[in-house]
Amino acid sequence: IKAIELNNSTYQLAKENLKEFDNIQVFNDDILSFDFSKLNEKADLIICEMLDTALIDEEEVPVLNRARKFLKEDGEIIPRGMINSAEAIFMNNHFIQYEDDEYSPIYVSLGESVVYSEFDFMDEIDCKFSAEMELKIYGREELDEIGFEENLNEERYEKFNFKENFNIEEDKLKINGIKITSFTKMNDNIICGPTPMLNPAMLIPIEETEVKCGDAIRLRLEYVMGGGVESIRTEILEINHMD
Ligand SMILES: C[S@@+](CC[C@H](N)C(=O)[O-])C[C@H]1O[C@@H](n2cnc3c(N)ncnc32)[C@H](O)[C@@H]1O
């Protein structure tokens, strides 16, 4: 087993924790420049957990793009891939927020989440990601079913005057963000949804826009996987009304 860790203090801890295993070799190096030729053979299995929501902020994709070249033809990678979905939301703050242990952003969902990308980590993946997606706003009946208007009376929404942004009678709703949910494919049979620790849902601001029930929002989402949240760009391309 060869373990490669970039951070020196993490490497020191790993070495200490693993010192009783004489079949594990730990390297303090950057996988992006590591000289794999010094390992005598290619890997049967690569385990790489540099995961984060939509793979934007950590280096899973660039690291795997390099490490994969040193995987045997019949080798495997764990985790195996990722599926990302997005939905239209209205949120309290107009900046990137994670729904994690320390922080619970206040937001309401205005439509179902739709899958906009799926990656198999066995494939070479372009770090520069760009997708156009269509996000559907709930129809009037769906809003009634989920008790949208009543829910806005909850204290957390009242505190931020959410109600001011929605007039269901007059068919006036507002969106100002999208919520990204990532699902990790551990293998062909196991999919792990978001947890506060692993890939918590991420809220990304978009231009504040008035919409109507049943509208379809065509939106472009771009980012660099491994390039950090600063690389995220969004653009509303078109709003299609139902009638
Ligand atoms: C998300 S953490 C892994 C956490 C681990 N799975 C656990 O549960 O404790 C990712 C690790 O990859 C290391 N790392 C990030 N980029 C790297 C690179 N280019 N080469 C080697 N290690 C890297 C980080 O220093 C960090 O220790």
Distance 36 CA to ligand 1 centre (A): 18
pLDDT at 196: 78
Nearest atom of ligand 1 to the alpha carbon of 63: 19
Nearest atom of ligand 1 to the alpha carbon of 32: 19
pLDDT at 82: 97
Pocket test for ligand 1, best of 2, 4, 6 (most atoms within 8 A of CB): 6
Residues 139 and 171: their CA atoms lie apart, in Å, by 10
Q: What is the CATH number of domain 2-78?
A: 3.40.50.150
Distance 197 CA to ligand 1 centre (A): 15
Profile the chain (243 residues) by mean pLDDT over runs of 10 residues: 97 97 97 93 97 96 97 97 98 92 89 98 98 97 95 94 94 97 95 89 97 97 98 97 79
- Residue 54 zone, left/alpha/beta (φ > 0; ψ -120 to 50; rest): left
ipTM here: 0.98
Q: Are strands 2-5 and 202-211 parallel, antiparallel or unpaired?
A: unpaired
Q: What percent of the chain has pLDDT over 70?
A: 100
Kindly report the number of other CB atoms within 10 A of residue 157's CB atom. Answer: 19
Q: Which residues line ligand 1 (CB under 6 A)?
A: 4-7, 10, 30-32, 49-50, 59, 63
Ranges in the chain annotated CATH 2.70.160.11: 82-240
Distances (CA, A) of 170 to 32, 180, 210, 213: 55, 29, 12, 10
Task: Spell out the residues 6+ positions from residue 125 whose beta carbon is closer than 8 angstroms to its own.
Answer: 61, 64, 65, 119, 225
Residue nearest atom 4 of ligand 1, based on CA coordinates: 49
Q: What CATH architecture applies to the domain 82-240?
A: Distorted Sandwich (2.70)
Ranges in the chain annotated CATH 3.40.50.150: 2-78
Residue nearest atom 23 of ligand 1, based on CA coordinates: 6
Distance 81 CA to ligand 1 centre (A): 17
Count of residues in the chain:
243
CA triple 232-32-198, angle to 5 deg: 50
Distance 5 CA to ligand 1 centre (A): 6
Residue nearest atom 5 of ligand 1, based on CA coordinates: 49
Phi, psi of 90, rounded to the nearest 5 degrees: -120, 130
Tens digit of pLDDT for each residue in 8-31? 999 999 999 999 999 999 999 999
Residue nearest atom 17 of ligand 1, based on CA coordinates: 6
pLDDT at 197: 81
**DSSP classification of residue 172:** B
